[in-house]
Structure 1
């Protein structure tokens, strides 16, 4: 019952306050296996008004005039980022990404690399983040010119809940 009430409050807002959590639906496979197409995302649109951007956060941001993407923050402004095969390096140190464990295991079982798209070392501009989808070989993200680095001001909010649909 407590989980239901919490989900209801996150979806509708706490009575007497402005609801900061908005609902979005995941479209596409770029965040699999953690989030699948059709899953519902609760996004706190006011989170970054009082909290800092952090590596690992799932964020929503616009791409072009008619698309909204959600991806994981990998690197912050001022950091050097490099993608080499299945490994990501921040300032020369390999990034620990436990959220990729299932995908990496599945790729190993199939005898294929998890990521086939490398990214040469680059410094993330101040005031921006470098984002990637968890499904590294099937994600349009900061490695692509159409997305690039995402300015803090463009981020619409942080994913705070995920309601999985039946697969």
Structure 2
């Protein structure tokens, strides 16, 4: 009888440790997210299940072209790509990204841009300098984000979203794990 009691106690202890470890991992290290909507197409698809690295930005600051998950509202998280960093200016002109007046290649959109009909652009012209609701320069502790699907994305160009503070960032989306045919690292 004592052996059975000991065995049950061991199982209960193992289960509690597993639950505690799962809680710690999900709360502080990694968590799942499901991409909702078309704003990150073609690189991320509606319904993609991803793993978010929550510890990366506790140790480092976001880098250009990182795919980040952030609290857009109290109840909703968004997933977008970091384009501008603190101290920089962002401008889109003739389908070219300019950071501080210098052109920057967006290789993750090369195919989409090349498929545009003559005279059409993938990303409409935009300038922080001409914006009525953004500062001319990204302040410390903030980033400028865009969705990859530039014509269908609520991002930093929108007055309802604007710049994203580091405090809003949950983590960086690194791995697609479902559907299985899309398994792999996020296109960065």
TM-score (norm 1): 0.82
The aligned counterpart of 2:132 is: none
Match of 2:88 among 66, 79, 85: 79
Number of equivalenced pairs: 153
Question: 2:148 matched to 1:134?
Answer: yes
Tell me the distance in 2 between the aligned counterparts of 1:40 and 1:160.
11
User: Alignment RMSD, CA only?
Assistant: 2.3
Distance 1:163 1:114 in 2: 28
* Aligned match of 1:163: 177
Corresponding residue of 2:68: 59
The structure having more radius of gyration, on CA atoms, is 2
Structure 2 matches for 1:30-41, cutoff 5 A? 30-41=39-50
Q: Going by fraction, where is strand more abundant, 1 or 2?
A: 1
Is this contact kept in 2: 1:33–1:102, CA < 8 A? Answer: no
The secondary structure found in structure 1 opposite 2:172 is strand
**CA distance in 2: counterparts of 1:51 and 1:77, whole angstroms:** 14
CA-CA distance at 1:126 after TM superposition: 1.1
Structure with higher helix content? 2
Q: Give runs of aligned pairs for residues 14-163 of structure 1, distance below 5 A.
A: 18-19=24-25, 20-108=29-117, 112-116=120-124, 118-121=126-129, 122-163=136-177
CA contact (8 A) 1:56 1:72 kept: yes
Structure 2 unpaired stretches of 5+: 1-17, 130-135, 183-188
Structure 1: stretches of 5+ with no match in the other structure: 1-11
- Counterparts of 1:50 and 1:87 in 2: how far apart (Å)? 31
Calculate the TM-score normalised by the size of structure 2: 0.73
